[in-house]
Amino acid sequence: MMFKKTRVNAGKVGLVFKKGDYITCIAQGSHWLGFGSTVREYDLTKAFVPPIALEILLQDNALAAMLHIVEVKDVQLVLVSENGNLKQTLVAGTYAFWKGLITYDFVTIDLSTISIPENIGKTMLGHPQLRAYVRTFEVATFEKALLLVDDVYVNTLESGVYPFWQNDTSIKMVKADTRQLQLEVSGQELLTKDKAAIRINFYTQYKVVDIEKALLDNKDYEKQLYIAMQLVLRAYIGTYTLDELLERKERISEAVFDDIKPRATELGVTVLSCGIRDVILTGEMKDIMNQVLVAQKRAQANTITRREETASTRSLLNTAKLMEDNEMLFKLKEMEYVEKIAEKIGEISLSGNGGMVKQLKEIFSVNK
């Protein structure tokens, strides 16, 4: 029988075939093989891609002991790490890896579930090989969210980032803002008790406190709160006249606040405060109110004028009585008026005899 010598280098393994049939495997070193035999070498640092059916090769116990055999089912995914670093992901099929030079780690994932095991960290989930199999949901710091799996409520999530496996299972995040919010009931056209048409802007500050009740038990809780505020506001405005409304805005706001709180609790929210921001009169009513206001102010002005005139007349009368009883006071008052008249005279020209002085004296004197 004729033989030939062949050599397998370090880091390699050889598979011996004769006439297409697998014979044996040979490791590093020199080997004598019979003529007609061929050797296929494989790198121990790379995955093994069998030249024939793997099941035939695995009948050789020596070869089977040199391989990691990984079987991946249809609903599975296998993460392959080499020396602690994720290198690839394996989908359904059978795979073989050489033992010896590289330390392999295989993690099997059940893709029929959505939960990600705790041993798979964020760094691994962000790896390009794995990213396509992950879906991520984010809940902001000021939010809470309901987790719905196949439209069935599972639990309530606080703020954070939540990864799930990508599969046919439906996952939804229904979020609610847990900060203090403000609801504006603007431009509400209402009729007062005395049939005055007005437009009111009303505000409400509220906060979501029961997210399950707000999102699961109620549809569009914000719209329902808005309508509830409208109805309560209409009910109260209709019981007040326009004058009462303008005078009692704060009292009406307190009454609306007390009335809306139970309804808000049913919606999963709590009302923190509310109030009337603006009361706007319509066109005709605005003109009428302006006329009333002008008439009131005119009447007040007339009253003040008459009061001042009366006080002035009374003062003059008191002064006259004092001067009538006191001649010296009369003279002083006379001199005061002469002084005022003199201030307005720029120049005095005298002509004629000495009688002019007497006449001038009589001009600035009042004979009793």
Structure confidence by residue, pLDDT tens digits, 247-293: 777 888 888 888 999 999 999 999 999 888 877 776 665 565 556 66
**Going edge to edge, which strands form the sheet with 47-48?**
47-48, 93-98, 67-72
d(CA 69, CA 97): 7
Distance between CA atoms of residues 295 and 128, nearest Å: 81
Sequence-distant (6+) residues with CB within 8 A of 248 are: 240
Nearest to 104 by CA among 89, 83, 78: 83
Extended strands (E) in the chain: 3-8, 12-18, 21-26, 29-34, 37-43, 47-48, 67-72, 76-82, 85-90, 93-98, 104-110, 134-139, 143-149, 152-157, 160-165, 171-177, 181-191, 197-208, 269-281
51-82 pLDDT, tens digit per residue, is 999 999 999 999 999 999 999 998 899 999 99
Question: What is the pLDDT, as a whole number, of residue 12?
Answer: 92
Q: Say what the pLDDT of residue 176 is.
A: 94
List domains and CATH numbers for the chain.
1-107 (no CATH), 113-178 (no CATH), 181-286 (3.30.479.30), 316-344+351-368 (no CATH)
Tell the burial category of 6 from Cβ atoms under 10 Å away from its Cβ (0-12, 13-18, 19+).
middle
Hey, which bits of 192-295 come out as E strands?
197-208, 269-281
Q: For 79-138, how does the pLDDT look when each residue is reduced to its tens digit (9 = 90+)?
A: 999 988 888 899 999 999 999 889 999 999 998 999 988 888 888 888 888 888 999 999
Mean pLDDT calculated for residue range 206-234: 92
pLDDT-derived band at 368, boundaries 50, 70, 90: very low
Q: Which whole number is the average pLDDT over 20-48?
A: 88
168 vs 301, more confident = 168
Answer whether residue 361 shows pLDDT above 70: no
CB atoms within 10 A of CB 359: 10
pTM for this prediction: 0.64
Question: Do residues 202 and 167 make contact, with C-beta atoms less than 8 angstroms apart?
Answer: no
Q: Can you state the angle between helices 327-343 and 283-325, rounded to 10 degrees?
A: 120
- Mean residue pLDDT of the chain comes to 83
pLDDT band at 304 (very low <50, low <70, confident <90, very high): confident
In whole angstroms, give the CA distance from residue 150 to residue 170: 5
Q: Distance between CA 76 and CA 72 in Å, rounded?
A: 6
Nearest partner of 334 among 356, 361, 305, 315, judged by Cα: 361
pLDDT band at 355 (very low <50, low <70, confident <90, very high): low
Measure the CA–CA gap between 167 and 122, rounded to whole angstroms: 19
Tokens of 295: 């008439």
Strands 104-110 and 152-157: unpaired
- Which one has a higher pLDDT value, 337 or 135? 135
Q: What is the distance between the alpha carbons of residues 87 and 127, in angstroms, rounded to a whole number?
A: 9
pLDDT of 305 reads 78
For residues 363 and 210, the model is more confident at: 210
Which pLDDT tens digit goes with each residue over 315-336?
777 777 776 676 676 666 666 6
Percentage with pLDDT > 70 across the chain: 83
Residues 6+ apart with CB under 8 A from 210: 268, 269
